[in-house]
Every structure is written in structure tokens, then in C-alpha cells.
Structure 1
């Protein structure tokens, strides 16, 4: 099994907005959808999928376990609730959304519960999100690196997270980049704009193509059909080594997501 290169994110999308986004995405050709328990939109995502007529076997659905559900007695029941909302018997990937604040629930406990969920057929693959090198090592110690499909992390041209990426690669753990467009900040970057002009592409396509070329999966969200269509074209954009070097030089360790009381001690 592998992690698909490009999907639709649904963070911050609610109600009819997320239904429209997922519907438009599926119509455009997307088959990967990323949601989470805390997004409060699993039921709407499930409704949009059901209405689309796209066979379940063609889809790759990811959800994430919220911190309130990390304990051994809560994780699997909460995942079953997610499956009911999503109107499916299984998801393709289940992630630990954030590590337990203050280590309240040990990594070994929730990773073991997640592995049991996979053994029960509730999820095809398991992984983590927002994990540092130290936390990834704890997860590896708990279930083995081969069991961990991905670490989904904030990663964009301004935060390239190289220490985490290097450790993950050494252990065969895939990286999924979220916020690849840095909440849209990179779209106005003059370096990325010049690269986009050279390729007759959009800045969004350049940023996504950059991440994909580095081997990361990307899950940008959009409420506009034109943007959804445009993002798909990132798969066909071929950036040069010089393009990649210019974007590599944009790294400035600018983290945009670090919620107080939730974020670990970042690398």
C-alpha cells in the first residue's frame, strides 16, 4: 500500500461548503479525501461521497483520531463512530491527529489501539500527524516503522521541516504535507511567481509540484472548482533542479500552526 500523491483536504470546511467541495472534487477526478474527527464534517463528507456514485473501491479516505479519543478504551469506538458518519465499513488511513498533550496518554497505548483497529479491518493503514522525531521514535518502538504509513505535518516552502523529513525517510515513513500553500502566503511569493510564469502555471501548482517532486503527498483544500481543477495539474508540472533549489532557499522555519496546549516541542 502507498499514500496517494494528491487529495482534497477538508479542514475548516463545514456544512454545505464541504459537501460542495467534495462533490466538485470527485467530479474533477479526485479520489483522495482527508478529514478528521475534530473537523466536525465527517457526516457531510460521507453524504457527499454517497451522493457521488463513485465506487468505494476507487476512493482513499483518511480520518484522524482526536486527542479526547486516544485512550485504549475510546480509540476504536470513536473510529467506529467516524465510519458510521462517513458511511463506510473502513477507512484507508487513520492517523493520530496530535500527540496526547503532556503525554497524558502514552504513545505506546494509542499506537497499540490504532494497530488493533487495523487488525479489526476498520482501517487499511495507520499513521501519525504533527509528530516530532522523538514522538516518531516512540511510535516506532510501539508498533514498528513498517506499520506507520505516514506522518502528516505542516510543510511548505517557508517551513520545510527537514529534520523530521530526514528521520521519517530513514525509517521508510512517508511524509504528507498539510498547508502546502501556507494559508495562501506562498502564492504571492516573487520567487514562486517567477517560476510559475516560466512554466505557464499558477503559484499554487508550483508549490504543490515542488512538494510532490520531493516525494510528499499533498492535500490542499478549496471551495472553488477552478482551483480544484488547477491543483490537479500540479501532477503534470515538471520543475527543474534550479526551480527546486530556488524554492529550497525560501525555508525560514515559519510555522503557522502551533496551538497552545496541543503542540509538542517542535524540532
Structure 2
């Protein structure tokens, strides 16, 4: 079974559910049903919904579709305002909702990219640690900031989205902090979401992304396969390759992985991550 742990579905903007003005736009809408069809055609069995930044902190559609299609959606990683009052109470209320798996911090642009440096989210991190909430982090190139946070909160299991990589004009070499990424992966409470190798190659190489394969192998040799979690990052991955190619990159091209390791990276590791983070099997 292949579980895609990083996809986004969303609705059109409406007065009741407006899009966030600073959200990343990948189209007017991508309904859950349309995403399921794309996933099935790519050979993916189930998905994990990561609420798109376009939806702001509104996770309603994420949760509604997950409840409606439990055979398709393993669960939801929600967006959450870590600076608003009553962090612990709001976090507990959100995580009590059916199909909620964890929280994603999206720190990819101002002013959010300063939250770790300025130590603005410690109330949230303390609450997440106390409540054993899995936390995904998208903080491009903030390797040292992530290291400090992970060291300060050893009770949180962190899943690092896209290995901290992002396509940015300021950083034409998307692997320029790769040695730091490898060292970050050594921490016991850090798991790596290997969800950006195709996109890291945009403008430099095309499928099968030979250079990205080598980087993947370096990460594999440094931290082992058991802490790697695959996600396609669909639909943004389409700027690099097709959905199916994002699957085939690991299934067919990364031949340094054993069949058992590929099975683990394609889903079993993610379920183990949730188990280690929460202390319970995912329901």
C-alpha cells in the first residue's frame, strides 16, 4: 500500500470560507474527489491531507473530506495559529476532532519565517509537547533554528517537510545546506519527509533526476530508511514531473533502496512516526 503523506485539496474561495491573501495559489480549487482520481492514477492508495496555506487557518474542508472518505484519507495535518490566545485549549479542541493527526507550522515567508528565530512559538511547542501532538515543520533552509527547537522539545516528534528545501531565487543551489540537513536528521526526534527531490531539480535536470537520486542516497546512508517518509507534494510537484513520476522516482529509480525499505518509506514509516509521536496506534 502506498500512502501519500503530503497532498493538498481545497475549495474555491467563498464569503464563508475565504482564501488567505498570503496563501500560495496552485489553482482556484482542487476538490478531494479530483485529488483521489489523480492519486489513484499515480498508483497511490491513500493520502494524508495537509491543509493548504491558501486556506489560512481554516481546516473545515480538510476535516469534512477526511470524514466523508475515511477509506481514502488517512487523516489531516492542520494549520494552526500558534500566536493566538489560549494555545493549549485551542490545540486540545482541534486535536479532539475526528481524523486530526497533527499540526503543520508553515514558516516559509515573512513574517512567519522569523517565528523560530524570535522565539515566538514556545507556548505552542510546550502545549504540543504536553499533549503529544505530532508537528510538521516547513521552514525552508532554517536548519539551525529547527535544530534548536527540536533539542529544546525532545518530547515532540518533528516531521521536516521537504528536507527544509524550497525553490527560491535567492538560493539557486537548493542543496547548499545539505550537510546541515544530514546532521539535522541525526536528532532522535527528527523525521525527514522526502517530498522535494524532484522539485529541487527544477531548472537543472529532468526525470529521473540523477543528481537528486544521489542526494537521496546520501540522506539514506546518513540516517537510514526508517526515518524517511514519502510525500508527493501534489499538486506543486507538477512543476517538476507528473504525479506518477513522483512515485516512480522512488519505486523505480532509487535502486539503492531494498523492496522492504521502499514499502516502509511509502507508508509504514509514517504510521510508525504517528505511533511514536502520540504513543498510540493510529485509529
- Give the TM-score range, shorter chain: 0.5 to 0.7
CA-to-partner distance for each residue in 1:74-124, whole Å, 9 max, x for gaps?
Answer: 36516745x68xxx5253332332267365553432210222342xxxx4x
Give the paired residue count.
210
CA-to-partner distance for each residue in 1:222-267, whole Å, 9 max, x for gaps?
Answer: 298x9333432233123468xxxxxxxxxxxxxxxxxxxxxxxxxx
The one of 106, 116, 139 aligned to 2:130? 116
Please, which runs of 5 or more residues in structure 2 have no aligned partner? 9-23, 221-227, 257-283
The one of 236, 239, 243 aligned to 1:228? 243
Question: Could you tell me which residue of structure 2 aligns to residue 77 of structure 1?
Answer: 90
3-state secondary structure, aligned to 2:150: helix
Pairwise CA distance, 1:23? 2.5
Partners in 1 of 2:4 and 2:216 — Cα distance? 8
Report 1:109-188 matches (<5 A). Answer: 109-118=123-132, 123=133, 125-130=134-139, 132-144=142-154, 147-152=156-161, 153-154=164-165, 158-160=173-175, 161-172=177-188, 173-177=190-194, 179-182=196-199, 186=201
CA contact (8 A) 2:3 2:46 kept: no
Question: Could you tell me which residue of structure 2 aligns to residue 45 of structure 1?
Answer: 62
> Kindly tell me: are residues 95 and 22 of structure 1, through their superposed partners in 2, closer, same or farther at Cα, counting changes over 3 Å?
same
The one of 13, 23, 33 aligned to 2:48? 33
CA contact (8 A) 2:66 2:75 kept: no
Q: TM-score, normalised by structure 2?
A: 0.55
CA contact (8 A) 1:65 1:97 kept: no
> Whose helix fraction is larger, Structure 1's or Structure 2's?
1
> Kindly tell me: are residues 174 and 101 of structure 1, through their superposed partners in 2, closer, same or farther at Cα, counting changes over 3 Å?
same
> Kindly tell me: are residues 211 and 63 of structure 1, through their superposed partners in 2, closer, same or farther at Cα, counting changes over 3 Å?
farther
> Kindly tell me: are residues 236 and 27 of structure 1, through their superposed partners in 2, closer, same or farther at Cα, counting changes over 3 Å?
closer
Please, which runs of 5 or more residues in structure 1 have no aligned partner? 197-202, 242-267
3-state secondary structure, aligned to 1:170: coil
- The root-mean-square deviation of aligned C-alpha atoms, in Å, is 4.1
Q: TM-score, normalised by structure 1?
A: 0.58
3-state secondary structure, aligned to 1:150: strand
